Amino acid sequence: MQSENQVQQKPCMLNTLVKDVIQYEIFPILFNKSNYTTFKNARLTSSALQKIVDSVDGELYCQRLRALRIKQLATLSKGTLALTQNGDVYVWGKNIYRPTDARKNTPIKTPKRIKQLKDIKTLVTGDDCILALDASGTVYSWGSNEDGELGLGHYRRVHTPKKINRLSHVKDLVTGSYHCLALTESGEVYAWGHNAYGQLGLGHYDNVNTPTRIEGLHDIQSIVAGKYHTFALTRSGEVYACGRNTSGELGLGHQNDVCRPRKIESLSHIKSLVAGDNHCLALTQEGNVYAWGKNTFGELGLGNEIRVVSTPQRIHSLRGIKSLGAGFCHSAALTESGEVYTWGYNQDGQLGLKHNIRIVRTPHRINELNNIHQLVVADHRCLAITDDGQVYSWGKNNASRLGLRVQDNVNTPKQISELHDVQNIVPAKNHTTAFTHTGKVFVWGENRAFQLGLGHQANDVPTPQQLNKAALVPPTTTKRCAEAAHHKLKITILR
């Protein structure tokens, strides 16, 4: 028998998500296909909805709702991962996960839950490795391991998640191409993997296959990994850098690789950093922007033709900036008021400025974009999410990855008409994933390795397709909720 307090805590979940769950997820289980056809376009009364909520055990129903909500998507070139609100991880694609009973090189055609991962908090991916962080601060890894990037003490490929025993109390993870970093609750940083350029910050240039603490880094707030270089941002806004520096991307005033973290003396009060392949951008707490590194294609936005800038320089035309993005050789900034500015390499239209002038050396506003909430900058393309969840896409269109029903590159932002109420977008090399506030997952682009999870193989999928929502829910939860509703409900319909 429920206590009065328990009854009061039980939510009255009569919102859009609940209606969608009941009408399109539970109905097909409760009724046979012919009856469901009659019901699927009907409108439920509030009393009928309340009966459903009241009749299904509260905790089971909450599990069901959490399972339907996507917290994060992560991508590899040939695979995709989804993390649900209840901490479950699903994978699909090729060479991304292989249970012991699966044949070698067998692709996962539709989302498959990794049963040994529970209560996961976040996922990160390198070029071909995966890390998962759970709520207790424990880290799991699997995938390619040629440079020791799994942190497991050896260099063999691993097909299923394995616990990294040398790590605990971790609060954040980042990966470069082949090196990994972990930030602990106490503000210390551990590094492992590829180290040919000193990007691990351990004082040498040898690969390391177990997490090793970086001496000299304390009170760290966040970490950023470029392709072959690393940054650490302290709580006081100072920046430390190490790794490859052939283009001055460490911001230290020279072009020599560095194997121990060095403070960038000219930066202070830094709020966040982004790293492109060979250039970097920093955002101050006041909303100003600094840039350094390779500048062959104007990607620093400084208005000059100097090919390498080894110390941070302020981009004076940018003020009131909210976030930054760095692609392969282009850059972008989102203002607090929702405007977007771009600069750098533009041969594929990735600046969205209605032309393909190859190099743009200063920031230019994209006039077609307003009220932008989030800006996503990938290698040679960009995507923008508006305040109301609409999505715009532009740039290089390999494998129809822009989602625009066209095959050519696009040099001005175009709305992806199939997407609404979008919460986040995650681009991979040649495919793209997105999820909405109500937990729907959409995928498009290259699908030769089944990386879209649609159950079929195709070279390209040019427009967003929704994944089967039921595939992202533990079957036991679905069955128990449906059985509870089936035995206790009498549903009324309002025509």
Q: What is the DSSP string of 433-494?
A: EEEETTS-EEEEEEETTSTT-SSS-EEEEEEEEE--GGGGS-HHHHHHHHHHHHHH----EE
Other Cβ atoms closer than 10 A to 285:
11
Among 170, 179, 188, 175, smallest CA distance to 133 is for: 170
Query: What CA–CA distance (Å, rounded) separates 405 from 416?
Result: 9
In the prediction, which pLDDT does 36 show? 40
Q: Quote the tokens at residue 43.
A: 């409108």
Tell whether the model's pLDDT for residue 459 goes beyond 90: no
Give 399's DSSP letter: G
Tell whether the model's pLDDT for residue 296 goes beyond 60: yes
Chain segment 52-82, per-residue pLDDT in tens: 545 444 444 445 545 558 899 999 999 999 9
In the prediction, which pLDDT does 451 show? 94
Confidence grade of residue 106 (pLDDT, cut at 50, 70, 90): confident
Query: What CA–CA distance (Å, rounded) separates 133 from 89?
Result: 11
Q: Please work out, in degrees rounded to the nearest 5, the angle formed at the alpha carbon of residue 151 by the alpha carbons of 145 and 154.
A: 60
Q: Which residue has the tokens 């759970």?
A: 134
Which CA distances in Å does 339 have to 32, 124, 317, 354?
50, 29, 14, 16
Query: What CA–CA distance (Å, rounded) separates 231 from 24?
Result: 46
Averaging pLDDT over each range in 85-99, 177-191, 450-464, which range is the top one?
177-191
Amino acid at 446: E
Query: What CA–CA distance (Å, rounded) separates 287 from 204?
Result: 36
Q: Quote the tokens at residue 328.
A: 């392969």
Mean pLDDT of all residues in the chain? 86
9: part of which helix (H) or strand (E)? helix 4-9
Give 271's DSSP letter: E
Strands (E), 155-226: 158-163, 170-175, 179-184, 189-193, 208-213, 220-225
Among 478, 492, 495, 487, smallest CA distance to 24 is for: 478
In the prediction, which pLDDT does 469 show? 66
Biggest CA-to-CA distance, the chain = 75
Confidence grade of residue 474 (pLDDT, cut at 50, 70, 90): low
**53 Cβ contact partners less than 8 Å away, ≥ 6 residues apart:** 10, 11, 12, 13, 14, 18, 61
Q: Please work out, in degrees rounded to the nearest 5, the angle formed at the alpha carbon of residue 211 by the alpha carbons of 206 and 214.
A: 75
**Averaged pLDDT, 157-182:** 97
Confidence grade of residue 351 (pLDDT, cut at 50, 70, 90): very high
Which CA distances in Å does 441 have to 84, 115, 447, 452?
11, 21, 16, 10
In the prediction, which pLDDT does 485 show? 45
- Name which of 294-308, 377-391, 464-478 the model is least confident about: 464-478
Chain segment 209-268, per-residue pLDDT in tens: 999 999 999 999 999 999 999 999 999 999 999 999 999 999 999 999 999 999 999 999
Query: What CA–CA distance (Å, rounded) separates 106 from 27?
Result: 34
99 or 261, which is more confident: 261
Tell whether the model's pLDDT for residue 14 goes beyond 90: no
Beta bridge partners of 270: 284
Q: Quote the tokens at residue 184.
A: 């602990």
For the chain, give the number of residues: 495
Query: What CA–CA distance (Å, rounded) separates 403 from 337?
Result: 27
Amino acid at 127: D
Chain segment 407-449, per-residue pLDDT in tens: 999 999 999 999 999 999 999 999 999 999 888 899 999 999 9
In the prediction, which pLDDT does 102 show? 66
> Cα(first)–Cα(last) distance of the chain, in Å?
36
Contact yes or no for 211/164 (Cβ under 8 A): yes
Query: What CA–CA distance (Å, rounded) separates 380 from 203?
Result: 34
Tell whether the model's pLDDT for residue 301 goes beyond 80: yes
Query: What CA–CA distance (Å, rounded) separates 25 from 164?
Result: 38
In the prediction, which pLDDT does 438 show? 84
Q: Please work out, in degrees rounded to the nearest 5, the angle formed at the alpha carbon of residue 128 by the alpha carbons of 127 and 134.
A: 100
**Averaged pLDDT, 75-91:** 94
- 93-99 long-range Cβ contacts below 8 angstroms, 24+ apart: 93/449, 93/450, 93/451, 93/453, 94/449, 94/450, 94/451, 95/128, 95/449, 96/130, 96/143, 97/142, 97/159, 97/160, 98/159, 98/160, 99/159, 99/160
